[in-house]
Structure 1
């Protein structure tokens, strides 16, 4: 009998690469690997490559400087695109490094009596991205034979810690930056609204211990190839015409520059521009108003931009007072005319929390601000009243492919809950890397797998839980993403089957819904045991507790419907027990102090509660006959 050919499948890499093709069967790494390290491979990149190999079972990693003509072991070549060994390895494997910033090539194949893996970066950031992709093509001691050529669609991709309420801890910031790096992001903007030394007391120096702790976060960002951007928010009290206030901004930035920060930001959002903070500004810029405010802001920003340019630190970023639309105004017209064209302008879309963002919207923003804008996407932030009691865990969606042509980048404003923000933020990162090939659902699952340490069962439990936190509110009454779409589809199918009174359809629908109820009831315990990021369970604890109760209530409701169809008198007891569980679930509150607005936690509200309440009336159950005398 002939031997079956070895079957290999294309691995999943997130964000989706520009180009990936299989080049042969997967290859065993073996116990020993030779690492050929060229110029351009920094310590963090080499450390990540070594960690991937060790996790895959490699026991011995030997470093050499030359790639032999015939391989006898697995050889891993890492370095910049111009190195001799890298060029040789690329030629042997068919890899090619794109001529784009942060571009990289990753190629692997059987060679001689061994295997060859090459990671080549157009720059140091690109090489680090290649190592993050290597992590995803190695599994169970083998590496997929692939040729990957990849680069980002948008220059800026990441997060802005820009919410109101409890800021993240320094440890959470470090963990978030490492998460950003895994999804090939390159930007973290430090701008918590409740950091008093960045906003209310922006003129005052940071305490030494706070500055030292920030320095450690900056060190992590630099190692992870993530740009730490420091933002100051002087708008509530600044006197634009006062040289002392400009000097105070310079002093604050100088202190952060001493920590290794090279990118800076001035936030002028959520302030009044119909009054001045000092009489001198009226003398300098005229009566308060939109045009005068823009002129004053441009004067400040241009001076800071000149400082950065002189230091070789690139562009300043700012968020304007009019940040959430593209409507022409005296403010935008003056800012467009007076602001140094090197200054990057942020924009939140067509609203503070927009339901969608189109290429046309972004083109209008480019016209309004006189440059491509950096999108501040207010998702999944939960610091406004409509989010009370909610985690926002729907996938990143309703942003149009092609935005990369009109934006300089996208950053997410996450929730106060750092780890729980990751399912949504991961989607934004994948979209900003490759908006044309972004797959909403597959990326959402990849984010679940990242939290689950690759365990598929835990990831499925997470996805069941995410579905109960799917709704995405706006500042209005209508959310821009629906609540619990997967669970709602099952409930709607059951309602329709009952309405049609089709016995077979009813049986199938209730079976499917019962299985979903069991999965939801079991998910919290699986999540607590299987999630590899401890902060997730801590942040979501009340919601996990409530979801378990709602899952059990749904199971009892399904059992009640089944019993009612069978004419069993115990149906009413099932419904009553379900109601008691929903009361307990509804009484669970969010964690005090964790968010700006607190209240009872919400789990599939409008879906589960409505169905459980309606269920007793969906089947008529005749009362049991009274016993005869």
Structure 2
């Protein structure tokens, strides 16, 4: 038996043992979980952070997807890695960090996965990412169920490398919905080809997989759909398609023949085949026929009357289904995926002769789009989507008309509120979601980023955190610019629908401060009035400063140009609010300067209200709106909230 005895601290000091105890008791630096958007299905911290170092080895099989390798190399370069070597096998011992890339079918990748103790989920587009420190180096594994999943892993890798280091963690992730992306389906000025390329790259950053080309004002896709595209336009479209294919985003080409098609005319069918064939030669593999926003109770040709009978909802659905079924068969024969359509009755789930006929006659492989319970719904529930499944005889692909700003109620607005009021669990009743964005591509991103994060993981979606992350993305992670953007976003927070009641409130942060000031003034207690006005004054100063900070600091090209008149107006409205607060403070102090402050505030308010949106940028132009119904109302009401002393003679 070993003898036990107490130890004199002096003996420990003399022997150096106390120093050992002190070292042992010093806590290691705590590892923190990185922010990843969209939120992964599973993330677990498994150890402390470790440095990538100046040199790493990328272990990858032959034939690696170039986009994935480029993304990983870009992340490493940004992290300060200067020497990147490649290998095809994994070393058991290495003085460098080894980064293994590949799909789970590769034996080297499987070996690396075993070493870090993770597996790839059995789901399309799934991936696993594991990392841990090793003696002298580290091991990082990016493994995909397929090449798309591997590319998603690379974009997660971009988010978890911080300050030249990476945490020890395990991520197993996969999308909740098969289809996630945008449909350029708005009226008014279409995006430029450069904007489409930039948008597709943005989609890839949020793990989207779909971009639907369907601008209403593309003459060769709608009004003149039978006519071939000019060669120059085709060349430009081909470049966009190449970017999409590189970024693992499915470019879906949509044709809108509904306004003039003769369903029974073989020549019109051949015109569709010819148009799709040209796009197929450019690299398109997914196609779409749109029948939205057309008259469906009359025929465009006498032959349809003879073939399908008297015009009406049911006859229109049968005619459309016949055409769609033929095109679906063509696509299947070419080895491509399902045809997509947006039907003429694209909103609500109310039973009708049209929906019944479409459900009865349409090939079950054809994907049907649906916009929700209305064209611009205020809320979409799981029950709503379940009813749509019953109405159309298949799970629908949600065409979400947010943040699109091509209808009258959006005049003068950028829609910058977060993506919200879509119920968690929709992934069980939808085949996917695509956003219809604004005419302004970059300004659409804060809302679209939320939709993409929701579509990836609807049950783990956090609207506010994702919204803030989208602002950081525009700001290049600069915290001051991020806060300036959020201040500006608050003034564009309202989300209109048809009618007068928006489904998201205008300027909730600013309104809270204004309401607090109103309540304090109504209470008449100096102890609450002074801090309430001070807080509102700080908000006014932030609004005055935000436009210049945004112009100087936003790193994504296009946002400042798109938002220019709104930024101008926000600055002027901020000055008006500052003077309004000054007037209230002066009146509260008994100063006769209050009237002058209020007068100047009103003049600025009139000037701000007359700033116009960019001509031709949106379907409906007019004065830009900044926190309307909140800011303007307060500037008008403020002089009546407090007694104004008469000016001294």
TM, length-normalised to structure 2:
0.96
The answer to whether structure 1 residue 377 and structure 2 residue 423 are counterparts is no
Query: Partner of 2:242: helix, strand, or coil?
Result: helix
| Match of residue 252, structure 1, among 275, 292, 298 | 275
Cα distance in structure 2, aligned partners of 1:91 and 1:456? 39
Q: Which residue of 1 aligns with 2:18?
A: none
Residue of structure 2 equivalent to 1:270 = 293
Structure 2 residue 86 is matched with structure 1 residue 59:
no
How far residue 151 of structure 1 moved from its aligned partner, in angstroms, is: 0.1
- Match status 1:500 vs 2:523: yes
Deviations 1:536-594 (A, max 9, x none): 00000000000011111111111111111111111111111111111111111000000
Aligned partner of 1:211 in structure 2 is 234
Matches for 1:135-214 after TM superposition, within 5 Å? 135-214=158-237
Partner residue of 2:98 out of 69, 75, 83: 75
**Equivalent in the alignment of 2:19:** none
Aligned to 1:487: 510
Indicate the SS of the match to 1:147: strand
Q: State the 1:621 CA deviation.
A: 2.3
Per-residue CA shift, 1:19-44, capped at 9, x if unaligned?
00111111111100111012573000
**Using a 3 Å threshold, how does the CA distance of structure 1 residues 114 and 329 change in structure 2: closer, same or farther?**
same
Does residue 143 of structure 2 align to residue 120 of structure 1?
A: yes
Alpha-carbon distance between aligned partners in 2 of 1:151 and 1:329, rounded to the nearest angstrom: 37
Contact 1:40 1:124 survives alignment (8 Å): no
Partner residue in 1 for 2:246: 223
In the TM superposition, residue 622 of structure 1 has moved relative to its aligned partner by 2.5
Q: 1:51-106: CA deviations, max 9, x gaps?
A: 00000100010001111111211111100012222112211212221000000001
Question: Can you list the C-alpha shifts for 1:445-467, whole angstroms capped at 9, x where unaligned?
Answer: 01111111111211111111011
Contact 1:40 1:80 in 2 (8 A): no
Report deviation, 1:625. 4.9
Contact 2:592 2:645 in 1 (8 A): no
Deviation readout 1:134-170 (Å, 9 max, x if unpaired)? 0000111111221100000000000000000000000
Alignment partners' CA distance in 2, 1:132 and 1:104: 11
Hey, what does 1:559 align to over in structure 2? 582
Change (3 A) 1:483 1:95: same
Worse overlay, 244-253 or 569-578: 569-578
What is the rounded CA distance, in whole Å, between the counterparts of 1:21 and 1:530 in structure 2? 34
Of 107-116 and 153-162, deviating more is 107-116
Corresponding residue of 2:131: 108
Partner of 1:304: 327
Query: Displacement of 1:366 after TM fit?
Result: 0.1
Does residue 115 of structure 2 align to residue 92 of structure 1?
A: yes
Q: Is the 8 A contact 1:394 1:469 kept in 2?
A: yes
Retained in 1: the 8 A contact 2:57–2:98?
yes
Q: Quick one: which of 616, 623, 626 aligns to 1:600?
A: 623
5+ residue gaps, structure 2, are: 1-21
CA offsets, 1:237-291, max 9 Å, x none? 0000000100000000000000000000000000011100000000000000001
* Cα separation, 2, equivalents of 1:254 and 1:427: 35
Deviates more, 1:36-45 or 1:6-15: 36-45
Partner of 1:416: 439
SS of residue paired to 1:24: coil
1:38–1:77 Cα contact (<8 Å) kept: no
Give the 3-state SS of the residue equivalent to 1:367 in structure 2: helix
Partner of 1:437: 460
Asked if 1 retains the 8 angstrom alpha-carbon contact of 2:543 and 2:570, the reply is yes
Does the CA contact (< 8 Å) of 1:38 and 1:80 recur in 2? no
Matched, 1:585 2:594: no
Describe the superposition over 1:296-339 as per-residue Cα deviations: whole angstroms up to 9, x where unpaired.
00010000000000011020000000001111111000000000
Counterparts of 1:589 and 1:534 in 2: how far apart (Å)?
22
Secondary structure at 2:47's aligned position in 1? strand
| Contact residue 198 and residue 234 of structure 1 kept, 8 A | yes
Deviation (angstroms), 1:475: 0.8
Q: Residue in 2 aligned with 1:391?
A: 414
Contact 1:152 1:433 in 2 (8 A): yes
Structure 2 distance, partners of 1:435, 1:51, is: 30
The number of residue pairs the alignment matches comes to 626
Contact 1:198/1:232 (<8 A) preserved: yes
SS of structure 1 residue aligned to 2:46: strand
Provide the secondary structure at the position in 2 that maps to 1:177. Answer: helix
**C-alpha root-mean-square deviation of aligned residues, in Å?**
0.9
Give the aligned partner of residue 46 of structure 1.
69
2:573 counterpart residue number: 550
Residue in 2 aligned with 1:33? Answer: 56
In the aligned structure 2, how far is the partner of 1:345 from the partner of 1:437?
26
Measure, in 2, the Cα distance between the counterparts of 1:23 and 1:38: 27
Contact 1:39 1:83 in 2 (8 A): no
- The 4+ residue runs of structure 1 with deviation greater than 4 A are none
Partners of 1:31 and 1:57 within 8 A in 2: yes
Question: Contact 1:467 / 1:483 at 8 angstroms: preserved in 2?
Answer: yes
Matching residue within 523, 548, 554 for 1:531: 554
